Amino acid sequence: MTTYSEEFKLVARPGEISFSKGLDGVVAAESTKSYVDGLGGRLVYHGHPIEELAEESTFEEVFFLLLYDRLPTAAELARFTGQLQQHREIPEEIYAIVRDHAARRGVHPMTVLRTAISALAVFDEHAEEDTPETHQAQAVQITSKMATVAAAIGRVRSGQAIVHPRSDLSHAANYFYMMMGRVPDAFEARLTDVLLILHADHESNASTFAALVVKSTLADTYSAVVAGIAALKGPLHGGANEQVMKMLESIGSPERVAAWLDEAMAQKKKIMGFGHRVYKTMDPRATILRGYAREVTRRAGTERWLVMAEQIEKTMVEKFAQKGIWPNVDFFSGVVMASLGIDPSMFTPLFAVGRSAGWVAHAWEQRQDNRLFRPRFVYVGPESEPYIPLAERK
């Protein structure tokens, strides 16, 4: 008979030991990077309101802010921008992985992104070094290359030739250029930049937390980012934006929104792009994207997507606002990205291109004051079981 130490009740009779499922409401670390005010509907990156950054800043500046906890001087921004530009190109071997994997039937782009970013470590002779200089260098290199790999995946999936990065465009404009094969106009470049800024960080979301757990074991930064990509892929997290577009496409027209929603809610379906573990009011990023949606759908002639989205929003808010279920970042981002010409299957890779900044910033923050993440489980299995020889088992 195994005797357990009295230090911890390993077997909990229901209600004896409480725990928070999904770590709901549990604080896992201290961070200076971003704060999500779920009741107030506010998001700040190191004290800077997201609305201000979306209006005034650039992805390069926001990435610097997240890494170094301050806005860069002009000279620092120029140097940091140059580092990002310098590290955009990826080894031919990585292009070969993308060419071989991205066009295979049924392979999701996030699967290829996860594989290709993981393979990048093989070509970084410093991958296993654990020094401040290496951490910061890899933070820039991985984030810079994430855009190149994501764009290449989209090109191969759509049967188009890969477009290699240019070094004379901003991060967002170059990402658009590699995706579309043409330099964006000023509006397209600005909107792509805003999308990357809005997706850059969000406190302790599932993918950032996954990256933190990996980094807390002192694994390399590539491993931490791959964990983030893996977590982001899921439809409850970064995969929701693609599901929103699938929802709009299956509804088909504004006239069918009400009936579709009634049916979905009768079946207790989760409406993609709504609800959030922390926001219990409008996600401020959704508000910002709704503002851009009017202009980008007008330019693209896709106003019907916005009409449908606003109808869904109106109905959902009427029915569920009092339950704290509101639009989140993924609801309008789908309409905006589709109207920019981005294929829905490439929405989550764009999310990863932005969120790479948050993953590497939090990983670096964790490394500087690390303690291994190792929570407990409440064991609710049998306290002890006799070993019955195979021959005697019924």
Which residues make up the interface to ligand SDX (CB under 6 A)? Answer: 22, 202, 205, 236-237, 240, 270-277, 323, 325, 328-330
Q: Based on CB atoms, which residue is closest to ligand SDX, 171 or 202? A: 202
Which one, 154 or 284, has the nearer CB to ligand SDX?
284
**Residue pair 330/205 in contact by the 8 Å Cβ criterion:** no
Within 10 A of 104 (CB to CB), how many other CB atoms are there? 11
Q: What count of other Cβ atoms lies within 10 Å of the Cβ of residue 247?
A: 22
Nearer to ligand SDX, 22 or 381 (CB): 22
Residue from 276, 283, 343, 369 carrying the catalytic annotation: 276
What crossing angle do the helices spanning 303-320 and 257-266 adopt, rounded to 10°?
40
Three-state SS at 353: helix
Catalytic: 164? no
We find the least distance from the C-beta atom of residue 138 to ligand SDX, in angstroms, to be 22
237 catalytic residue (yes or no):
yes
Pick the catalytic residue from 124, 193, 220, 330: 330
Count CA atoms closer than 13 A to 264's CA, side-chain side.
18
> In this structure, what DSSP letter does residue 49 have?
E
CB-based contact 222:127 (threshold 8 Å): yes
CB of 236 to ligand SDX, least distance (A): 4
First to last CA, the chain: 23
Residues 170, 189: Cα–Cα separation, whole Å: 8
* Residue 101 annotated as catalytic: no
Tokens of 39: 């009741």
CB 49 within 8 A of CB 43: yes
**Cβ at position 325, least distance to ligand SDX in Å:** 5
| Comparison of 156 and 211: residue with beta carbon closer to ligand SDX | 211
Q: How far is the CB of 188 from ligand SDX (least distance, A)?
A: 23
Instruction: Quote the least distance from Cβ 45 to ligand SDX, whole Å.
Output: 12
Check: CB of residue 262 under 8 Å from CB of residue 254.
Answer: no
Q: Residue 13 or residue 21: which is nearer to ligand SDX going by CB?
A: 21
- Which residue of the chain is nearest ligand SDX when measured via CB? 275
Q: Residue 279 CB, nearest distance to ligand SDX (Å)?
A: 7
Question: Residue holding tokens 């295979």?
Answer: 104
Give 123's contacts (C-beta < 8 A, 6+ positions apart): 91, 93, 94
Of 132, 119, 146, residue with least CA distance to 63: 146
Min. distance of Cβ 167 from ligand SDX in angstroms? 30
Question: What residues have CB less than 8 Å from 222, skipping those under 6 apart?
Answer: 117, 118, 120, 121, 124, 127, 138, 142
Main-chain dihedrals φ then ψ at residue 37, nearest 5 degrees:
-95, 95
- Ordered DSSP codes for 68-93: HSSPPPHHHHHHHHHHHHHT----HH
Least distance between ligand SDX and beta carbon 278 (Å): 6
Relative orientation angle of helices 109-120 and 132-157, to the nearest 10 degrees: 140
Q: Measured from the CB atom, is 268 or 371 closer to ligand SDX? A: 268
Residue closer to ligand SDX, measured from CB, 169 or 336: 336
Cβ distance to ligand SDX smaller for residue 373 or 379:
373
**Annotated catalytic residue within 237, 283, 362, 369:** 237
Q: Which residues are catalytic?
A: 237, 276, 330
